[in-house]
Structure 1
Amino acid sequence: MKLAWLRSQDGAHDDSLWTTTWVPASDDSPALLLTGSLDETVKLWNPEDLSLVRTNSGHCLGVISVAAHPSGKIAASASIDSFIRVFDVQSNNTIATLEASPSQVWQLQFNPQGTVLAVAGGGSASVKLWNTAEWKLVGTLSIPRPEGVKHSEKSGTKKFVLSVAWSPDGRQLACGSMDGTISVFDVVRTKFLHHLEGHSMPVRSLVFSPVDPRVLISASDDGHVNMYDVEGKTLFVSMSGHSSWVLSVDVSPDGAAIATGSSDKTVRLWDPKMRAAVQSMTNHTDQVWGVMFRPPGGTGVRTVQLASVSDDKSISLYEYS
């Protein structure tokens, strides 16, 4: 397995890029790359040449998370301004504006069926669930405190929710917190299942394996990339190699490789069977906040691609093979 650099877009935004995702191909459009920046804008890019398709404005503070609906027709962006903007990918028109206050949103993600948007509620120590039919709040998953711990401002801060990930069947949701714990919920029953432990610092990013729904992969400020058996509640692989915080993680469509972005300015490719990094890409000059594999599908796509975004205001695109 390896990554080969394809192209980069320097100065893609006027400020740091903190988030990226792929908009799946639809009947109306090929797959597009979506980026969000502290310059308060969201941009859509053609991956073939990283040309700008359109710019989406509407937030009054930096954009820290973006998510694309499985249909490829709508997307959502979350900002430090505590608002979520849902918009039509083709027309740019706003479909809904969701208020997340009093707590800012740190990450959001549509479930695989496209019926629910999960929103990590930051300091509220909860994940809010919004239905996508009427954009109404339909559930709140609160992170329980460990037994014997009294409520305090300090413990509340540590439960600050940073990351969310849906299981492939959409029945479970995992969220990572500031204190290094990962909470797993049964969404159908709106029930907390258990904590997963193993990190000593904030869990910035989570992703389930597309080929084994029991496997959850996490990235943390402690420099480790962990793999858990969600059903068995066990940590079975812990990998290290970055020299600083691991800010983002994704897994390849075939489930065979893991990609990470880090404060050490590198993108790394990991072989989970070898339990080690097999490649390090160094084309960014600042922290790498987002990595994301292109989902399979779309006409004329013969290779798997990986995108990365950074504080250096650039996008990089790689071929994975």
Structure 2
Amino acid sequence: MKLAGLKSVDSAHDDSIWAAAWVPATDERPSLLLTGSLDETIRLWRPDDLSPAAPPAAGHSLGVVSLAAHPAGVVAASASLDSFVRVFDVGSGASIATLEAPPSEVWGMQFDPKGTILAVAGGGSASVKLWDTSSWQLISSLAVPRPEASRPSDRTGSGKFVLSVAWSPDGKRLACGSMDGTIAVFDVARAKFLHHLEGHYMPVRSMVYSPVDPRVLFTACDDSHVHMYDAEGKSLVGAMSGHASWVLSIDASPDGSAVATGSSDRTVRLWDIGMRASVQTMTNHSDQVWGVAFRPPGGTGVRAGRLASVSDDKSVSLYDFS
């Protein structure tokens, strides 16, 4: 497996770019790349040459820190430091719904595989909120419990700050990562907390389940490590190291053979899951890499894999993944 740089766009936004997500292909168009920035805008890019696919979309009063695309490829959601989630039509940019997320900003969100629920990591609310995507009504709020063996430093309550969420590929489980390094796993149908996954002691900023195995969860943490868990068996299967600083983002390739990570050490790394090791390092960004995203499968005439990365350096990079 290998990454090859295809295209980079400098000054893609007017400020740091903290979020990236692929909008799946539809019958009418190929998949598109969404980026969100501290400049308060969302931009849409074509998948091969990173040319703009639409004018920049505004709608937030503070920086955009998270993006999620509906699996049908028609709708997407953006979350901002203004404590609102904006749901919009990808084609027109028109707002469909505005979801309030008090008492604090949203740092991570993801649609479930069927597209019926949007899970929103509620920051300081110590919960994950589940929104019904047909009515945009709040259907559940999953409280993230504190681990039984809380460390003394957690008594301030900061440990319950929720940063990241990930759906299992079968939609049955939802994992969420917190500021204190703990990961909580929920049974979504029963709205029931199942267990914690241990091993990290710093913020878990990004997580992704293997697309081919609903038991396997990959996590990215400020401790500079990438962990691979058996999320059902509650066990740490592998700990991968290589980054020199915080790991800010992680995504899994569609075939489940690799994960990519972005770090505050300014690099993007590709990891071979079979070898449990970093096999390639890309160094085209000049500042922290806040987002990495593999293009989902599907679309007419699509043969090559794609990976996108976004950074504090205001650039977007696109790589061929083979």
What's the TM-score, normalizing by structure 1? Answer: 0.98
Question: Partner of 2:306: helix, strand, or coil?
Answer: strand
Distance (Å, rounded) in 2 between the aligned partners of 1:220 and 1:153: 17
- Please tell me the residue identity of whatever aligns with 2:295: R
Counterpart code for 2:98:
T
State the secondary structure of the residue aligned to 2:292: strand
Q: Which residue of 2 aligns with 1:212?
A: 213
Tell me, in whole angstroms, the C-alpha distance in 1 between the residues paired with 2:244 and 2:321: 23
1:147 aligns with 2:148: yes
Whole-Å Cα distance in 2 between the matches of residues 160 and 82 of structure 1?
14
1:2 counterpart = 2:2: yes
Q: Take 2:263 and 2:101, find their aligned partners in 1: how far apart are those partners?
A: 28
Aligned residue for 1:53?
53
Q: Following TM superposition, by how much is the alpha carbon of 1:47 offset from its aligned partner in structure 2, in angstroms?
A: 1.4
Q: Is the 8 A contact 2:147 2:182 kept in 1?
A: no
Deviation, structure 1 residue 275? 1.8
* Secondary structure in 1 matching 2:158: helix
| Mapped contact 1:125–1:156 kept (Cα < 8 A) | no
Given that 1:183 and 1:194 are in contact with CA atoms closer than 8 Å, whether structure 2 keeps it comes out as yes
Offset at 1:27? 2.1
What is residue 85 of structure 1 aligned with on the other side? 86
Partner amino acid for 1:160?
Answer: F
CA contact (8 A) 2:269 2:278 kept: yes
Counterpart in the other structure of 1:75: 76
Q: Deviations over 1:148-197 (max 9, x none)?
A: 76999844211100000000011110000001010000000000000000
SS of the equivalent of 2:53 reads strand
Q: Which amino acid aligns with 2:121?
A: A
Q: Give 1:122 shift.
A: 0.4
Confirm or deny that 1:34 pairs with 2:38: no
Matched residue of 1:158: which SS?
A: helix
Contact 1:226–1:239, Cα closer than 8 Å, also in 2: yes
In structure 2, give the amino acid aligned to 1:283: N
- Helix, strand or coil at the partner of 1:52: coil
Matched, 1:20 2:20: yes
Shift of 1:101: 1.3
Question: What is the aligned partner in structure 2 of residue 65 from structure 1?
Answer: 66
| Greater CA drift, 272-281 or 9-18 | 272-281
Identity among equivalent positions (%) equals 70
Distance in 2 (CA, whole Å) between partners of 1:221 and 1:10 is 26
- Stretches of 4+ moved more than 6 A in 1? 150-153
Per-residue CA deviations over 1:230-249 (Å, capped at 9, x if unaligned) read 11100010000000000001
CA deviations 1:26-66 (Å, max 9, x no partner) are 12322100000000001110112111122110000000000
What is the root-mean-square deviation of aligned Cα atoms in Å?
1.4
**Correspondence list, 1:180-191, <5 A:** 180-191=181-192
Does residue 166 in structure 1 map to residue 164 in structure 2?
no
SS in 2 for 1:144: coil
What residue is the counterpart of 1:176 in the other structure? Answer: 177
1:229 partnered with 2:230: yes
Instruction: Report the AA paired with residue 128 of structure 2.
Output: V
Deviation at 1:147, TM superposition (A): 3.1
Paired residue secondary structure (2:36):
strand
Question: Which whole-Å CA distance do the structure 1 matches of 2:119 and 2:168 have between them?
Answer: 12
Q: Could you say what secondary structure the match of 2:157 adopts? A: helix
When normalised by structure 2's length, the TM-score is 0.97
Q: In structure 2, what is the Cα distance between the partners aligned to 1:272 and 1:299?
A: 28
1:151/1:75 CA distance change after superposition, 3 Å: farther
**1:277 partnered with 2:243:** no
Contiguous gaps of at least 5 residues in structure 2? none
Q: How many residues get paired?
A: 321
Unaligned runs of 5+ in 1: none
Amino acid at match of 1:301: V
Q: What's the CA shift for 1:91?
A: 1.1
